Amino acid sequence: MQSPQPIVLVVGATGKFARLVIPELQRRNVAVRALVRDEARATVARSLGVTEVAIGDLRDIDSLARATERVDGVFHIGPAFASDEAAMGVALVEAAERNGVRKFVFSSVIQPTNTRLANHASKIPVEEALYSSRLEYTILHPANFMQNIGLAWPSIRDHACFGEPFPNDTRVARVDYRDVAEIAAMALTEDRLAFATLELCAGMFSRMDIVAALSEALGSPIAAQQPDFSEWVANARLPYSGHQLLLLSKVLDHYQAYGLGGNSLALRAALGREPRSLRQYVKDLIAEKQSANASKED
């Protein structure tokens, strides 16, 4: 008799990062249940190929209980810079444990014990809840996502420049979130990464490294700039305000003073291959944007 297809709950499945986990799970013959907030997002989730949709909210304990029923694993990435991010994550861990979920993958952050950064420290209670649970957890500590570079595409395309509000020579640990998604899927479908806590970093890159990669891929020069924080937020069209922007500004102040360190050893070991490079990410970003533009013109 064939065993039933495993089901994994993906939190925020329509978000720009969690959605990358879906194809990795599908490649491993896993059914995906998406936790989304409303019917509009449910429609998007179905277009991404999820098998089931659970409409709920990380702040609604009853909806978490329903969402975690009869699932084999949970993938969780918290909402960025939310003031109650820790409470939401802990509630999900508790719901998963009550419902007998076996595996739980938490996409945390590099250096969560850097408590000067509130959005880093907010991950600690969720990790503590996992350490004190009966769940088979895997905790991921990804560096700054390369996908954040893509937020600046309008400036790259229209003004041939790329800017961030810290010095051009500051080195920041970065990772392609597609590699993080692949490791998450491995952890949810295999036992090799059970109970691992993994720093995920492809390397440390300055803005000069980024514009060099952009210039090479585009075949024309891209200039490095250092806008102030307000200008950068406006150009990036970030969906943040108030308290969220304050927390983000603290992160960028930290980068300005210290950069962000990271090591690629754990990422290479977990993947069993070299991680995606900055140049590969940039090449894929440009191909994606050019393809989207061609489709609009057709």
Residue 129: CB atoms within 10 Å: 22
| Residues 147, 203: Cα–Cα separation, whole Å | 14
Is 224 among the domain residues? no
Q: pLDDT tens digits, residue range 90-104? A: 999 999 999 999 999
**pTM across the whole model:** 0.95
Is 246 among the domain residues? no
Q: Going by C-beta distance under 8 Å and a sequence separation of 6 or more, which residues neighbour residue 43? A: none
Is 109 among the domain residues? yes
pLDDT (0 to 100) of residue 1: 45
Is 119 among the domain residues? yes
DSSP structure class, residue 52: E
Is 254 among the domain residues? no
pLDDT (0 to 100) of residue 155: 93
Overall domain count for the chain: 1
Is 47 among the domain residues? yes
> In the chain, which ranges are continuous DSSP H helix?
21-27, 39-47, 61-67, 85-98, 118-121, 124-131, 153-159, 177-189, 207-218, 229-236, 243-258, 265-271, 278-297
DSSP structure class, residue 57: -
- Among left, alpha and beta (phi > 0; psi -120 to 50; other), residue 276 is beta
The segments of the chain whose pLDDT lies below 70 read 1-3, 295, 297-298
Q: Are strands 31-36 and 7-11 parallel, antiparallel or unpaired?
A: parallel
pLDDT (0 to 100) of residue 131: 98
Q: pLDDT tens digits, residue range 207-234? A: 999 999 999 999 999 999 999 999 898 8
| Residues 79, 11: Cα–Cα separation, whole Å | 10
CA-to-CA dists, residue 272 to 110, 192, 199, 276, angstroms: 20, 12, 15, 12
pLDDT (0 to 100) of residue 238: 80
pLDDT (0 to 100) of residue 297: 67
CATH label of the domain that carries residue 103: 3.40.50.720
Domain hosting residue 76, numbered range: 7-146+175-202+261-275
Q: pLDDT tens digits, residue range 19-54? A: 999 999 999 999 999 999 999 999 999 999 999 999
- Residue 280 burial class via C-beta count within 10 angstroms: exposed 0-12, middle 13-18, buried 19 and up: middle
pLDDT (0 to 100) of residue 298: 60
Closest CA to 50 of 16, 75, 76, 22: 22
Is 138 among the domain residues? yes
Is 209 among the domain residues? no
